[in-house]
Structure 1
Amino acid sequence: MRKTFVLAILLLLSGCGHPTGVMTPVTLTATTPKTAQVDMLVATTRQPSGDPATLFNGERSPKPHLTDIAISIPPKRPAGTVQWPKKLPPNPATDFAVTHVKEIATVPEGRAWFHQHTEGGHAIVFIHGYNNTYEDSVFRFAQIVHDSDMHATPILFTWPSRARVTAYVYDKESTNYSRTALEQTLRVLAQDPEVKDITILAHSMGTWLAMESLRQMGIRDGHVDPKIHNVILASPDLDIEVFAKQFIEMGEPRPKFTLFVSQDDRALAASRFISGDVGRLGGINPTEEPYRSRLEKAGITAIDLTKVKTGDSSNHGKFAESPEIVQLIGQRIITGQPLTDSNVTVGEGVAAVVGGTARTVGTVAGTAVAAPLMITEQPSRPKERPSSRQTASDVDETLRSDPQSKPLTP
C-alpha cells in the first residue's frame, strides 16, 4: 500500500507526454513566420547518446561536455508555456524548434562563445530539477529566457536524470555526482574578465546540486566567488536543516539568496513523504515562525507563490509558468534591484513575502522592506542588520543549541 501511494504522488512530478528526439536542427526558411531565437551554452555531465536527435541520455559521463544550442520560439504562444511539437520534424511557426547545434570542445571555445553572446557581462546558470530529459531542460530554459526578457547570457547545466518517476534516488545521486562539474563551470565563468556577475537559478532537486557546489566552493576557498551575486532557489527540494548548514558552510561573503516557495506544491509534499516526513524548504510559510525570523537573520528573501495559479497540476513549476513571476526574475532579481518598490506588480492574488511583511495582493514589497530582509518599519526590531558573520552564527546557534526554539519543519 505504501509503495502504491509513493508511486501515485511521484506521478505528480511527471509531465505530459511529448515527442522525443527533438534535438535535430531544422532550417528556417523564407516562408517561416518571424520567430524569437534563444542561444544558450549547455554544460552537462550526461552521457552522449550517439544520436543527433537526442544528443545526451540520462546516464553519467566521466567527463563534462559543452554544446552551443539555438532554439526558435514561435510568435504566438501563451507566456509561460513550452510549445512541444505534436509530430516531427517540428514546425517553427507553431513549435519550439532547435535550429543550431555545435559541440564546444575546449574552454577557450566556450569563452569565445560567451564573448560573442555577452549581455553586458551578466550570466545566468540554470539547473533543472528531477525527472528531466536533456531536451526538457533545453526547452524549459529557452522559455524562461525568452519570457523573462532577461539581459543575461544563458548557460544551462543539465545533470544525468533518467526522467522516470521511479528513478528519484538515481536522480538524487546524480546531483552528487555532478557537483564538482558545476563548481568548475562556475569557476571558469567567474575567471573570465568579461563576466561581471553570475546569477544561479535552480529548480527543485537542482537546488540540492546548486547548494552542494556552492558549499564545496566555500570549503575550498573560504567563500563563494564574489562574482556570484544572486542565487534563486525555485521550489527547493531541500531538507530545511540541511539547507541551513549548507548556507553557513559556504562561508562569507555570500550571494544574495531568493527563495520561491509555495505551500500547495504537491511534488514537494511527495518528496517530504519519501524523505521520512522531513520538511522541504520550498513548502514553508515564510510568514510563520520560526521561518520569518530566521530568514530575516540570514538575509534571505522569500517570495510566497501559494496564491499564484498556473496550468501546472503539481504546483511545482510556478516560477517558470507564471508570466509575472518569470518576468520578475529576469527584470529585477538578476539585475540586482531590491524588492522594495511598491509599483512592482506580479499579478493579482500573489502573496509575495519578503521576511513575512509584504502585502498579499499585487506587490512584491508592500511595506518598507529592503532586500535582503532588513525590516525598517517595525520598531520592535533592531534597526541595524547584523553582520554576515553574526547572521551565520545566529542561524547555526539556533539550529544546534536553542532548546526552546521550534523544530525547523513546516
Structure 2
Amino acid sequence: MPLSSRLPILLACVVALGGCAGHPKGVMSPVAVSNKTGGSKVDMLVVTSRVPSDDPATLFTGERSPHPYLTDISVSIPSDSKRKAGTVQWPKKLPPNPDTDFAVTRVQQLKSVDQGRTWFRAHVVGGHALVFVHGFNNRYEDSVFRFAQIIHDSGAKVTPILFTWPSRASLFDYNYDKESTNYSRVAFEQTLRTLANDPNVKDITVMAHSMGTWLAMESLRQMAIRDGRVAPKIDNVILASPDIDVDVFARQWTEMGEKRPKFTIFVSQDDRALAASRFISGDVQRLGAINPADEPYRSKLEQAGITVIDLTKVKGGDSLNHGKFAESPQIVQLIGQRLVTGQTLTDSNVSLGQGVTAVIAGGV
C-alpha cells in the first residue's frame, strides 16, 4: 500500500490511541503567585527556532525563524501534596490557579547571547547545564511545562536550558515537524557551542525525546565533523524514546568520531507512537523500540559502550506509552540523581521497581 494511502489510516489510529488534549491553550501569560501557595518554581532559559506569535499567551508559533530567540521563563508548580509526580497539572480554565496548576510567573525576552550568559551566571548550579529537546507534536508551552515537571520531579541540581524547535503541534504534520528538526540543526549546535565556551559551564547533559533525538544526534554529529570531536564539556547524552531509524543512528554514532559523550537510551517495545513511525518509515525498526537483549543489538551496544534502560514493563501515563521517561517518578529521579551526574549504571546498583531492567553495555 503506498504511503499516500497508508498515512490517513495511520493517523486515524494514532488519534484514537492518543485522544485529544483537554486543557486550555495559551498559558504563557504570567500570573501573580502568592507565598501561601506552598509550591515551588523552576527558572529556565528557553532557546527557540520558532517565529514569535506577537501574542503573550502563546509567545511563539510553530513556524520557522531564520534566527533563534532567547527567553527567561519561570514556572510555578503546585505543592507535592496537591499533585502526582510525573504529571503536568494543566489548568482547566484560564488564568491558571498557581495553587493547583502549573503557571507561568515570569517571561522576559533576552536580546543577545551576552544577556543569555548573564542569565546563566545568575542561575548557575554547580556549573551543570541540562539541555532538553522536546519531541513531535509540541506547542511552545507544552515543552516549557514538561521540562519544568522533569526538573522539579527529578531533583536535578542543574541549570535548565530548553531548546524548542518549530513544531506545528498537529498529528497531521509529522513530515513538517521532521523537516523542522533538520532546519534547526545549526541553531541547536550553536546553542551547545555557546554553552560549552562559557567558563561558568563545567559540564553539559543533553536530553532529547522522540523526534527531538534526531535533532540532538544530527547537531552533535555536525559539531564533531566541524570541530573534529563533540565539545568535551558535553559529558552525557540521554535519548528517550528515540524516533530514529536504527541504521541511521549507527551511522550518526560512527561519524561523531571516537571522543563521544556517555550515551544512555530509554527504550520500550510497547511504544505505539514509534510503531506508527516505523509504519510510515519503510518498516525499519526505530531505536526507541528495540529489545536490547536481542542480537544484533546486544553485541553492538556492548561494543559501543551504550547504556540502554528497557522501560517496556513500566506502566505508561498515556495510551501511546511514549513518555514513560518523564511520567515515571523512579525514572525521572534516576535521570536527575544519577545520569546527569555522569554515574555509571550497573545491574547490581540500579533498583527502579516495576520490573524495569537496565541493560548495560560495557565500557561506559
Using the size of structure 2 for normalisation, the TM-score is: 0.96
SS state at 1:142 partner: helix
Equivalent of residue 26 in structure 2, options 14, 21, 28: 21
Aligned residue in 2 for 1:408: none
1:309 aligns with 315
Q: Distance in 2 between matches of 1:144 and 1:307?
A: 21
C-alpha contact (below 8 Å) 2:246/2:286 kept by paired residues = yes
Give the 5 Å matches for 1:138-217: 138-217=144-223
Q: CA deviation at 1:108?
A: 1.1
User: Which secondary structure does the structure 2 equivalent of 1:41 belong to?
Assistant: strand
Q: Which has the larger radius of gyration?
A: 1
1:22–1:89: 8 Å Cα contact kept in structure 2?
A: yes
Structure 2: how far apart are the matches of 1:282 and 1:239? 9
Secondary structure at the residue paired with 1:334? helix
| Structure-1 separation of matches of 2:108 and 2:19 | 30
Contact 2:6 2:280 (8 Å CA) reproduced: no
Note if contact 1:150-1:331 (Cα within 8 Å) is conserved in structure 2: yes
- Name the CA distance, whole Å, in 2 between partners of 1:347 and 1:16: 30
- Superposed displacement of residue 349, structure 1: 1.5
Residue number in structure 2 paired with 1:135: 141
Shift of 1:340: 2.3
1:54 corresponds to: 58
Q: SS of the counterpart of 1:353?
A: strand
One-letter amino acid matched to 1:28: V
Q: Following TM superposition, by how much is the alpha carbon of 1:351 offset from its aligned partner in structure 2, in angstroms?
A: 2.5
One of 72, 76, 80 as aligned partner of 1:72: 76
CA distance in 2, matches of 1:286, 1:349: 15
What is the aligned partner in structure 1 of residue 228 from structure 2?
A: 222
What is the aligned partner in structure 2 of residue 126 from structure 1? 132
Aligned partners of 2:217 and 2:252 also within 8 Å? yes
What residue number does 2:94 align with?
88
Q: CA deviation at 1:62?
A: 1.2
What residue in structure 2 maps to residue 241 of structure 1? 247
- In the aligned structure 1, how far is the partner of 2:299 from the partner of 2:90? 43
Match of 1:336 among 328, 339, 342: 342
- What is the DSSP-based 3-state SS (H/G/I as helix, E as strand, rest coil) of the residue aligned with 1:166? helix
- 3-state SS, counterpart of residue 21 of structure 1: coil
Amino acid at match of 2:127: G
**Match status 1:98 vs 2:104:** yes
Q: Structure 1 vs Structure 2: percent identity of aligned residues?
A: 71
> Contact 2:347–2:359 (CA<8 Å) still a contact in 1?
no
5 Å matches for 1:394-409? none
Alignment deviations for residues 202-245 of structure 1 (CA, whole Å, 9 cap, x no partner): 00000000000001001101110000000000000000010011
1:59-79: CA deviation from partner (whole Å, max 9, x where unpaired): 011110000000000012000
**Which of these residues, 245, 250, 257, is aligned with residue 251 of structure 1?**
257
C-alpha separation in 2, matches of 1:348 and 1:174? 36
RMSD across aligned C-alpha pairs, in angstroms? Answer: 1.3
Offset of residue 341 of structure 1: 6.9
Residue 306 of structure 1 contacts residue 351 of structure 1 at CA under 8 Å; is this kept in 2?
no
- Equivalence for 2:38: 34
Structure 2: distance between partners of 1:272 and 1:317: 17
The TM-score with structure 1 as length reference comes to 0.85
The partner residue of 2:282 within 256, 276, 284 is: 276
Q: Secondary structure at the match of 1:200?
A: strand
- What amino acid is the match of 1:48? P
- Report the equivalent of 2:352: 346
User: Offset at 1:3?
Assistant: 3.7
Answer whether contact 1:13 1:165 (CA < 8 A) is retained. no
- Aligned equivalents of 1:347, 1:270: Cα separation in 2: 28
Where structure 1 has 5 or more consecutive residues not aligned to the other structure, the ranges are: 356-369, 373-410
Q: 1:268, CA displacement in angstroms?
A: 0.1
Shift, 1:35, TM fit: 1.0
Partner residue in 1 for 2:123: 117
Alpha-carbon distance in structure 1 between the residues aligned to 2:156 and 2:363: 20
Between the aligned partners of 2:147 and 2:177, the Cα distance in structure 1 is: 19
